[in-house]
Structure 1
Amino acid sequence: MSDNIPFDIQLAIMNRLPVKSLLQFRSVSKLWKYSIDCSDFVREYGFRESNNCCLYLTFKQNFEGVICSVDDNLALSPVVSNLKFFNLTPFATSEGVWCFSYGENSMLLIWNPSLKKSVRILVPNYLLEADSPKMLFGFGVHPVTLDPTLLKINYPYYGQGPWYVSVFTLSSRTWYKLDSYCLPRESIRIKRSGQAVVGGKIFWVGSEKFYSDDGISYKIYMLVSFDLITHQFQVIDMPEEMLVGQCLPPYYISQLGDCIIISGSFKFVDFSIIYAWELQVDDGEVSWYRKLFTLPYPIEHDLKLIGFTKDKQPIVEASFVQQLHQSLQVFNPTFQIFQNLVVESNHGSFFIGPYKESLILLNV
C-alpha cells in the first residue's frame, strides 16, 4: 500500500481481506507482521463466512483419516494438512476453530483450518479425581476476547458424586479447577452426544435420574450450559412438548446458526423417524422453540443428524444393519428422500463443522 495512506486506514483495509491475503501480507514488513499478529487486530478481525467453502468434514476410512472441504453444491475436495486425522477424534468446533482429542484423552489439539495451524495441550490428571468413562471435554471460543477455552469434566460413573471441572484458556496456558459454587447439581450427568456453542455459552444435553414410589427409575432431560465469560454452569429446562410423545431419547445436540438443535430417532413397526427441534435460549430459559422436521426412513437403517447444508437441509450419518461402514446422506426436499453422497466411513467417525475464516491462533 502507498505510504501516503495513513497506517490506521491501511489496517482498516486489511481487516476486510481474506485470511490467505493477510498471511501473505505478514511477509511484507516487520510492522505489518506485528500489526496483523497483534491480539487487538485478531480480535477485531473476528470470524467470517467463506465464499468458497461452507463446511469441513472429517471421517475415518479403515486405517486412514480424511478431511475434506464441502462447497455449496456438496462437492468434496481433499484438504492438505500435516495432521494425522486417523489419530484424532473431533468433538467440537467454535467460530472456525476445531478441537480434537487423542492419545486416550491424554492430549487435546486446537486447530484453525484457515491458518493450517494447531496447538497441543496436555490434559491434567489429578490424584484425587479418579478418571472414569464419564469424563468428557468441552470447547468454545470466548465471544469477546476470542480466547479458545477447554473444559475437562469428571464425575463418578455410578450414582451421585462430586463434579471435578478444570478450565484451560489458551491465553493463560494453564488449567485451573472450578469452585463448587460454579457447578451444577451432583446428580446431573451430561450426555456425550455433541455440544453447541451459542451466545457465548457451551450447551450439552443433561439428564437426572429419579425413582418412583414403586422403585422404578426414570430420567428427566434438560440442557446444561457453561458460560465462556463467567465460567459458571447453568441448568435449563427443556420444553415439556419435547420430552413426551414421539420425541424419545437418546437426544443429540448440535446447532444451526444461532439456534440449538435437539435431534433423535425412533422406530415403528415397519419404518423409522428422525426428528429435530430448534431452540433459542435467552436469560437462562428456552425463549422460543419449534419442530424443525420429522422425516421417515426405512426400518433397516439408522440415521443420526450431524449437520446441515447451506440451504438448511439435514445431513445424516446412515448405517445399514448388514454393513460395517457408514454413509453420508442429505435430505432432498424435492423428492422427499435421503440421497447418498457416496462417502463411506468407519462407524461413528463423520464430523461436520461450518467453515469460518479467522485469525485465532495466529499470535500463539
Structure 2
Amino acid sequence: MVVIWNPSIRKCVSIVIPNVLTYPHGHTAIGFGVCPDTSDPKLVKINVNKIKIPYTWVVEVFTLSTRIWKTVYRGTPFKSYDFSWDHVSIDGIIYWHTVRFDERLWSNYIISFNLKTEKFGEVSLSERLARAYNLVVAKVNESLCLLEYYNEGETSVCGVWTKKDGINKPFTKIYTVKVEGKSVFYRLLGFRNNGEVVLEMEDDNDKGYAVELYEPSSGHISGVGMNGNATFSAMSYMETLILLHESNSIIH
C-alpha cells in the first residue's frame, strides 16, 4: 500500500498496490510525482520480472483523478536493470538510480519517466559516475543531484554532483562532504535552501545518532538538538492544496 499524505490540509489517500513481485521472481519499484499540466498525483509501478534474461518490465501508471491503473509499457526497454528504492521527482519527471551487470562489470544508469508523456528516458553519465560503486539519486534546489560515496584514504566521504545548467548538460561536482574522523557513508539526508547539508552522524559514544548541519565552504558541522537511538530520514517539502477535495479513503 502507498499512502499519499498532505500534512498541510490533513488529508490522505491510501492506494493498494496490486501484483507486487518479490525475490526470486523479480521486484517492484514505485515512483510518485505530480503531473505539471494537470496537478494530478500519479504513481508509477515498474514490475521487473527476473525469471529469465533479458528481464522484462511491466509498467503501470495510477492517476488519482481516474482511480485506475493503466499499463503503459510491456517489454525490455533497458535490458537487465535493477532499480533502487531511491527516486526523486522534479518538474514532472521521476528519476531512478538503476544498475546493470554485464560480464561482471557494474554500470550505473539514471532512468527517467515523464509524467506528462508517460515515456521513459535515460540521463547520460560520465565514465566515473557510471562505474561508481555507491551512487544515490537526490535533489538539491529542485535540480537533479547524484551522491557519490567513496573512501578518501581511511575516511568515508560523499561527492555531490549536480546539473547546474539543465538536464541535458553533464553532471558537475560542486563539493565533497568530508567530516574529519567520522564516516559519512549513506549519512547525507538532504539540503537546506541556504546551502547547508543535513547529515546523520553517530554520536561520540556510539550509542545513537544525531542530526547535524554541514557547511560546505568551511567543513564545519553543528548539531541541531535532534538525537535518537534509531536512524533518521528527511525529505524536501512544499506546501500544496493537493488532496483538498479528497476524502480520507482506501482505494483498492
TM over 0.5: yes
TM-score by length of 1: 0.60
CA RMSD of aligned residues (A): 2.7
1:190/1:224 contact within 8 Å kept = no
Q: Indicate the structure with greater helix content.
A: 1
Unaligned runs of 5+ in 1: 1-106, 212-216
Query: 1:297-326: per-residue Cα shift (whole Å, max 9, x none)?
Result: 245433422211120111122246973633
* 2:174 corresponding residue in structure 1: 292
Query: 1:195-246: per-residue Cα shift (whole Å, max 9, x none)?
Result: 22123210111222111xxxxx0111121001101111112221235346xx
Superposition map of 1:33-182 within 5 A = 107-125=1-19, 130-132=21-23, 134-156=27-49, 160-180=54-74
TM-score by length of 2: 0.84
Please, which of 72, 75, 92 is the counterpart of residue 200 of structure 1?
Answer: 92
* 1:353 corresponding residue in structure 2: 236
One-letter code aligned to 1:153: I
* 2:110 corresponding residue in structure 1: 223
Tell me the SS of whatever aligns to 1:202.
Answer: strand
Tell me the SS of whatever aligns to 2:77.
Answer: coil
Question: In 2 relative to 1, CA 280–295 (structure 1 residues): closer, same or farther, beyond 3 Å?
Answer: closer
Q: Distance in 1 between matches of 2:55 and 2:181?
A: 40
Please, which of 147, 152, 159 is the counterpart of residue 275 of structure 1?
Answer: 159
Question: In 2 relative to 1, CA 341–209 (structure 1 residues): closer, same or farther, beyond 3 Å?
Answer: same
Question: In 2 relative to 1, CA 163–220 (structure 1 residues): closer, same or farther, beyond 3 Å?
Answer: same
Tell me the SS of whatever aligns to 1:286.
Answer: coil
Please state how far the C-alpha of 1:179 moved relative to its aligned partner. 2.5
One-letter code aligned to 2:99: S
2:3/2:15 contact within 8 Å kept = yes
Q: Distance in 1 between matches of 2:229 and 2:47?
A: 28
One-letter code aligned to 1:163: W
Please state how far the C-alpha of 1:353 moved relative to its aligned partner. 1.6
Q: Distance in 2 between matches of 1:346 and 1:157?
A: 37
Tell me whether 1:266 sits opposite 2:150 in the alignment.
Answer: yes
Tell me whether 1:344 sits opposite 2:227 in the alignment.
Answer: yes
Please state how far the C-alpha of 1:108 moved relative to its aligned partner. 0.9
Q: Distance in 1 between matches of 2:29 and 2:204?
A: 29
2:59/2:74 contact within 8 Å kept = no
Unaligned runs of 5+ in 2: 247-252
Question: In 2 relative to 1, CA 307–298 (structure 1 residues): closer, same or farther, beyond 3 Å?
Answer: same
Q: Indicate the structure with greater strand content.
A: 2
* 1:309 corresponding residue in structure 2: 192
Please state how far the C-alpha of 1:362 moved relative to its aligned partner. 0.7
* 2:139 corresponding residue in structure 1: 255
Q: Percent identity, aligned pairs only?
A: 24
One-letter code aligned to 1:358: T
Query: 1:4-38: per-residue Cα shift (whole Å, max 9, x none)?
Result: xxxxxxxxxxxxxxxxxxxxxxxxxxxxxxxxxxx
* Count of residues in Structure 1 that have an aligned counterpart in Structure 2: 242
Structure possessing the higher radius of gyration over alpha carbons: 1
2:55/2:79 contact within 8 Å kept = yes
Question: In 2 relative to 1, CA 349–156 (structure 1 residues): closer, same or farther, beyond 3 Å?
Answer: farther
* 2:122 corresponding residue in structure 1: 235
